[in-house]
Amino acid sequence: MKSRIRKAVFPVGGLGTRFLPATKAMPKEMLTVVDKPLIHYAVEEAAAAGIEEFIFVTGRGKQAIEDHFDFSFELEDNLKAKGRKDMLDAMRAWLPRPGQVAYTRQQEPLGLGHAVWCARHLVGDEPFAVLLADDMVLSDSPCLKQLVDAQAKVGGNVVAVMDVPRDQVSRYGVIAPGKDDGRLAEVTGIVEKPAPEKAPSTLCVIGRYVLMPEVFDHLAAHRKGAGGEVQLTDALAKMIGHGPFHGLRFEGERFDCGDKLGFLQATLAFALAREDLGAGLESYLRGMFEGRRKPKRPGGAR
């Protein structure tokens, strides 16, 4: 079996109901933080971790994602005609090479576990990464790279974890940590969306995983879990004791961009971190909070 992590799965079949009405006709993963869609950041992060094959599990109404990673002849002709070779080159530089992208379709949004299972033939018998584009991580070293590096040392499954206030753990998969060096914690149990008083810890899994292909055997049962969905967490629970399994406390700040407040926080954090925008935005925000400029409500805003 190959051990280098070459393939990443991007489940993008969800409905994004928390972000309605924006997501009624537009995929959640195409929501834009500053000037790039969420899925673009996720693909860049995967590429920076050495991923060579990008597997999207899509659903109805997700064509914009395929178009985003494809040539756009009209736009390219237009840029050429205007002499904007710089913009053309910049765009070509981030487009995946022919054959690097594969799409499969999750016909029904039955849950994250089901979405990952839909990619089984494209992944085959090798360890692979999973990235949820609506989780963004602002960090010095790309979050997936941190996982891939850790997995190269310890093997098996490695999932990204972070400490969450106990009253919020029921939104996440939560691990029971075993041997723990403060960065890597052995996973001795994992449960999806537990009640706060029943959670085995406050170490919660976020949308970055490196997984062994055996996970597909467990997902094949299509057993429904929390919320009536096929949960990835439940398949991971079945893998405990059958090989190394760790949670990595990654370096960086994570934002839940599937949630409106998380998305706004990500927009500010990513913009403030940008050389071209940070200073201007900071000065605007300072003015707003020092009372020099009152935030206005647009007419009709709720």
Name the site residues for ligand UTP (rule: CB under 6 A).
11-19, 28, 57, 106, 109-112, 114-115, 132-134, 258
In whole angstroms, how close is the CB of 17 to ligand UTP at the nearest point?
3
In whole angstroms, how close is the CB of 273 to ligand UTP at the nearest point?
23
Closest-by-Cβ residue to ligand UTP is 14
Name the packing angle between helices 73-81 and 85-94 (round to 10°).
150
Show Cβ contacts of residue 262 under 8 Å, excluding neighbours closer than 6 positions: 255, 256
Q: Closer to ligand UTP at the Cβ: 123 or 184?
A: 123
Show Cβ contacts of residue 162 under 8 Å, excluding neighbours closer than 6 positions: 203, 204, 206, 249, 250, 254
Q: Closer to ligand UTP at the Cβ: 11 or 142?
A: 11
In whole angstroms, how close is the CB of 229 to ligand UTP at the nearest point?
7
Asked if 239 and 245 count as a contact pair (C-beta separation under 8 A), the reply is yes
Q: Closer to ligand UTP at the Cβ: 56 or 245?
A: 56
Q: Closer to ligand UTP at the Cβ: 79 or 257?
A: 257
Q: What is the 3-state secondary structure (H, E, C) of the chain?
A: CCCCCCEEEEECCCCCHHHCCCCCCCCHHHCEECCEEHHHHHHHHHHHCCCCEEEEEECCCCHHHHHHCCCCHHHHHHHHHCCCHHHHHHHHHHCCCCCCEEEEECCCCCCHHHHHHCCHHHHCCCCEEEECCCEEEECCCCHHHHHHHHHHHHCCEEEEEEECCHHHHHHCEEEEEEEECCCEEEEEEEEECCCHHHCCCCEEEEEEEEECCCHHHHHCCCCECHHHCECHHHHHHHHCCCCCEEEEECCCEEEECCCHHHHHHHHHHHHHCCCCCHHHHHHHHHHHHCCCCCCCCCCCCC
In whole angstroms, how close is the CB of 265 to ligand UTP at the nearest point?
16
Q: Closer to ligand UTP at the Cβ: 132 or 184?
A: 132
Q: Closer to ligand UTP at the Cβ: 13 or 177?
A: 13
Q: Closer to ligand UTP at the Cβ: 133 or 184?
A: 133
Q: Closer to ligand UTP at the Cβ: 131 or 184?
A: 131
In whole angstroms, how close is the CB of 112 to ligand UTP at the nearest point?
4
In whole angstroms, how close is the CB of 225 to ligand UTP at the nearest point?
12
In whole angstroms, how close is the CB of 99 to ligand UTP at the nearest point?
23
In whole angstroms, how close is the CB of 241 to ligand UTP at the nearest point?
26
